[in-house]
């Protein structure tokens, strides 16, 4: 066939292809427009503009121009960003039957992160593991962890008092040690216990994966089949390392648990409940429950550790910047708890101001400014716009928690906004409506996380004075409260000075060390 005829055939095929796509697209949209948003480049879409820093601020600005439902496209991937409390709650909470999926990116699969239900697509496996998790973390179940949480808090106070400069490390250590005790019945020996290293190394890969916001291979999946020496394929070595560390994060605690079981010292813990307290006592059933249960336990670190740590750092930063808030909370603690004991969970109902500080910490610099992305299962309509199936859905949680219509002076740390007549004001929108996500994917660890934060915040306020950090000349270093530019955010700089409030406080801190986890 002559070249001109070949070109003609190719052109005709292209036209046919285009017409077919157009017909399919029209039958899907039925004339409904996509939501508005900035125009992208041909083929690449919004790939370049979307990678600009602190996207929650950019989206909030774009909302002024385009409204609360924004649309972007990166290559062929549609992305919808919801920017108002009404839009977020209406679509992601009330219509969660279609908005609870999560996109399985190639990077999640290649790094072996598909075992955790936090990243799984909506479906039966996710449902099974989430139900298993919930049985042990619903509001009626978490009180049994109070002794571990109190012991963990005591250890934390002693570690902070001995070495206040290592606050981040202390937070991480105490949280991980508490989870190992609850989940596997393991008592870690001390900070040098190799289990802590395996978990921390495993978490580092997960962190980088989550914080990266996506790799080139997520948008060009064919790269996964090319050798790692080619440009754009260097990710493969890194992925292999993360995959192995991720496996050890679950395998090593399980191995220690198994050693205890084999030595007829089966510990009282969540994993034992999962494996041995069911009706089916066959070996196959135990093996399968151990596999699934171990994945669920691993999810506690990956989903719960950095989130709780970030909220606690925000609290410390706020206290160093707002001394009058701290003094007010300490006055309440002195009146309710006194100087002879540490605060307990039973004090919470009388510690309204401490509770308000916790709410304000989760609002002021919220941990996940854009939540954790969901995706739609089927084509849908929202706000008069067409939302394609498989769209990535992002909630601008930061914008909801900084909406000046709801929270006056949103950038100021002001716990008083939640209080009326000495009680928590039910008319003020609770930051918990946003901070823990939405619909069927809402954080199932929120009651446990809330209890952990409450007890540590109350105890820190009770025994410590938290103030700005000092330089080598003893002068205060001015810290600007800035959120780090990540999907999982934390204060960029949360350095502070932490000192016991007096001899009575020191006595409390160290006299309780005997109850500690390590």
- Its sign, for the CA torsion 197, 201, 203, 207, is positive
Residue span 117-156 as binding mask against ligand HEM, x where in contact by CB under 6 A, dash where not: xx-----------x--x---x-------------------
- Going by C-alpha positions, the residue among 147, 181, 148, 185 that lies closest to residue 263 is 185
491 sits near ligand HEM (criterion: CB under 6 A): no
Q: How far is the CB of 1 from ligand HEM (least distance, A)?
A: 55
373 φ, ψ to 5°? -60, 135
Which is closer to ligand HEM, CB of 83 or CB of 161?
Answer: 83
Please state, in angstroms and rounded to a whole number, the distance separating the CA atoms of residues 407 and 398: 12
210 binds ligand HEM per the rule CB under 6 A:
no
In DSSP notation, 89-149 reads IIIIIITTTSS-B----HHHHHTT-TTSTTTSPSSHHHHHHHHHHHHHHSTTTGGGGHHHH
From the CB of 123, what's the least distance to ligand HEM, in Å? Answer: 11
Taking CB under 6 A as the criterion, the residue among 45, 444, 491, 500 binding ligand HEM is 444
Which ranges constitute the DSSP H helices of 367-445? Answer: 397-401, 432-435
CB of 403 to ligand HEM, least distance (A): 17
Query: Is 496 assigned a ligand-binding role in the annotation?
Result: no
Specify the residue, 254 or 454, whose C-beta has the smaller distance to ligand HEM. 454
Tell the burial category of 447 from Cβ atoms under 10 Å away from its Cβ (0-12, 13-18, 19+). Answer: middle
Q: Which is nearer to ligand HEM, 106 or 444 (CB)?
A: 444
* Residue 37 in the binding site for ligand HEM (CB under 6 A): no
Contact between 45 and ligand HEM by CB under 6 A: the answer reads no
Identify whether the C-beta of residue 205 lies closer than 8 Å to the C-beta of residue 242: yes
Binding mask 337-376 for ligand HEM (x = CB under 6 A): ------------------------------xx--xx-x--
Which of these segments, 142-150, 254-262, 301-309, 342-350, binds ligand HEM (CB under 6 A)? Answer: 301-309
Interface with ligand HEM, residue 448, by CB under 6 A: yes
On whether the CB atoms of residues 401 and 89 are closer than 8 A, the answer is no
3-class DSSP state of 385: strand
Contacts for 257-261: CB closer than 8 Å, 24+ residues apart:
257/184, 257/185, 257/186, 260/185, 260/186
Q: Are strands 77-82 and 392-395 parallel, antiparallel or unpaired?
A: parallel
Restricting to residues 229-288, name those near ligand HEM by CB under 6 A. none
**Binding status of residue 431 toward ligand HEM by CB under 6 A:** no
Q: Rounded to an integer, what distance in angstroms lies between the CA atom of residue 343 and that of residue 188?
A: 25
| CA pair distance 442, 423, nearest whole angstrom | 27
For the CB of residue 493, give the shortest distance to ligand HEM in the complex, in Å.
20
* Contact between 59 and ligand HEM per CB under 6 A: no
Which residue lies nearer to ligand HEM by CB, 320 or 368? 368
Q: Which token pair is 186?
A: 């393991």
- Cβ 293 to ligand HEM, closest distance in Å? 14
The whole-angstrom separation of Cα 137 and Cα 120 is 19
Residue 298 binds ligand HEM (CB under 6 A)? no
Number of residues that bind ligand HEM (CB under 6 A): 29
Which of 29-37, 54-62, 307-315, 464-472 is the region at the interface with ligand HEM (rule: CB under 6 A)? 307-315
**Position 299 contacts ligand HEM (CB under 6 A):** yes
Q: Which positions make up the binding site for heme?
A: 443
Contact positions toward ligand HEM, by CB under 6 A?
Answer: 117-118, 130, 133, 137, 299-300, 303-304, 307-308, 311, 367-368, 371-372, 374, 435-438, 441-445, 448-449, 453
Q: Tell me the binding residues.
A: 443
């Amino acid at each position: 066939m002559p070249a001109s005829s070949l070109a003609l055939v190719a052109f005709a095929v292209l036209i046919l292809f285009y017409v077919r796509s157009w017909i399919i697209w029209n039958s899907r949209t039925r004339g409904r427009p996509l939501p508005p948003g900035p125009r992208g480049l041909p083929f690449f879409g919004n790939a370049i503009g979307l990678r600009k820093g602190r996207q929650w601020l950019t989206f909030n600005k774009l909302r002024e121009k385009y409204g609360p439902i924004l649309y972007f496209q990166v290559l062929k991937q549609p992305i919808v960003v919801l920017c108002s409390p009404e839009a977020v709650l209406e679509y992601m909470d009330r219509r969660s039957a279609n908005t609870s999926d999560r996109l399985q990116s190639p990077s999640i699969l290649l790094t072996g992160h598909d075992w955790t239900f936090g990243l799984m697509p909506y479906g039966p496996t996710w449902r099974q593991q989430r139900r298993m998790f919930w049985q042990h973390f619903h509001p009626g179940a978490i009180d049994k962890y109070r002794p571990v949480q109190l012991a963990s808090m005591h250890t934390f106070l002693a570690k902070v008092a001995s070495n206040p400069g290592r606050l981040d490390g202390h937070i991480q250590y105490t949280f991980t040690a508490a989870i190992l005790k609850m989940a596997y019945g393991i008592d870690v020996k001390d900070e040098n216990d190799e289990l802590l290293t395996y978990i921390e190394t495993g978490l580092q890969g997960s962190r980088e994966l989550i914080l990266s916001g996506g790799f080139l291979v997520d948008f060009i999946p064919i790269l996964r089949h090319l050798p790692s020496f080619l440009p754009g394929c260097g990710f493969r070595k890194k992925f292999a390392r993360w995959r192995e560390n991720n496996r050890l994060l679950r395998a090593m605690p399980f191995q220690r648990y198994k050693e205890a079981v084999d030595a007829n010292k089966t510990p009282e813990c969540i994993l034992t409940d999962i494996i041995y307290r069911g009706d089916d006592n066959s070996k196959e059933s135990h093996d399968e429950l151990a596999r699934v249960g171990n994945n669920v336990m691993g999810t506690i670190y990956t989903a719960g550790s950095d989130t709780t740590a970030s909220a606690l750092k925000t609290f410390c930063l706020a206290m160093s910047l707002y001394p009058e808030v701290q003094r007010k909370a300490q006055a309440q603690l002195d009146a309710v708890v006194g100087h002879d004991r540490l605060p307990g969970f039973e004090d919470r109902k009388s510690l309204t101001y401490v509770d308000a500080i916790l709410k304000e910490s989760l609002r002021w610099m919220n941990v996940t400014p854009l939540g954790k992305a969901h995706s739609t299962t089927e084509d849908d309509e929202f706000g008069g716009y067409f939302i394609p199936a498989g769209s990535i859905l992002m909630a601008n949680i930061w914008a909801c928690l900084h909406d000046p219509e709801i929270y006056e002076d949103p950038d100021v740390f002001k716990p008083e906004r939640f209080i009326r007549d000495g009680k928590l004001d039910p008319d003020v929108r609770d930051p918990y409506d946003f901070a823990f996500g939405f619909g069927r994917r809402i954080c199932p660890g929120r009651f446990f996380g809330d209890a952990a934060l409450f007890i540590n915040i109350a105890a820190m306020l009770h025994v410590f004075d938290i103030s700005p950090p000092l330089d080598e000349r003893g002068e205060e270093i001015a810290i600007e409260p800035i959120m780090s530019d990540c999907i999982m955010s934390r204060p960029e700089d949360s350095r502070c000075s932490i000192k016991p409030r007096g001899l009575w406080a020191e006595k409390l801190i160290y006299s309780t060390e005997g109850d500690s986890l390590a």
